């Protein structure tokens, strides 16, 4: 029993010791495009959904991405069906190119993810707590 518990703890520590995820805000990603050429943008994003003049001898490239989000609401009455609603959301990215063909401004309606970091230490402690509780429960049952 001791070998199983020690092995489980070591495996869990190994799996969670380097766990870190960082979400980069969309603003940080988009700001790297400042000064980029039309060709570079098109190589990454493909042809734009539409183009329009910016009023200052430049162009605006618009890239759109539509998504349908369906929400299911269960019924708590077994005789009535649940409800489902669908929403169609269109996200866009606008690249503003100056007369030389370089990005001077961008705009988007994508949700801006604030910077998040998941701590490896907290994750490890969380799983160690689960293991300790499970071991204590198993020891209580074996008595």
pLDDT for the residue numbered 68: 85
Q: 94 forms bridges with which residues in the sheet?
A: 62, 107
Q: What is the largest CA-CA distance in the chain?
A: 83
The closest alpha carbon to 89, from 103, 105, 110, belongs to 110
pLDDT for the residue numbered 130: 76
pLDDT for the residue numbered 82: 74
Whether this prediction's pTM lies above 0.75 is answered by: no
pLDDT for the residue numbered 103: 96
The Cα 116–Cα 54 span in angstroms is 35
Q: What are the domain boundaries of the chain? A: 1-21+118-143, 25-113
pLDDT for the residue numbered 101: 94
pLDDT for the residue numbered 8: 62
The Cα 131–Cα 9 span in angstroms is 7
pLDDT for the residue numbered 131: 76
**Per-10-residue mean pLDDT for the chain, 143 residues long?**
65 57 74 94 94 93 89 75 82 94 92 56 66 73 68
Which of the listed CATH numbers 2.30.30, 3.30.420, 3.30.1450, 3.30.450 matches domain 25-113? Answer: 3.30.1450
């Amino acid at each position: 029993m001791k070998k199983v518990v020690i092995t489980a703890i070591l495996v869990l520590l190994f799996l969670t010791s380097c766990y870190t995820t960082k979400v980069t805000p969309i603003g940080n990603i988009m700001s790297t495009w400042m000064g980029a050429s039309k060709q570079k943008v098109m190589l990454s994003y493909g042809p734009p959904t539409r183009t329009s003049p910016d009023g200052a001898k430049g162009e605006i490239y618009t890239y759109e991405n539509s998504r349908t989000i369906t929400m299911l609401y269960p019924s708590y009455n077994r005789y009535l069906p649940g409800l489902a609603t669908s929403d169609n959301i269109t996200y866009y990215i606008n690249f503003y190119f100056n007369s030389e063909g370089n990005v001077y401004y961008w705009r988007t309606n994508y949700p801006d993810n604030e910077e998040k970091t998941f701590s490896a230490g907290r994750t490890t402690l969380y799983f160690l707590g689960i293991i300790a509780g499970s071991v204590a429960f198993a020891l209580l049952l074996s008595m």
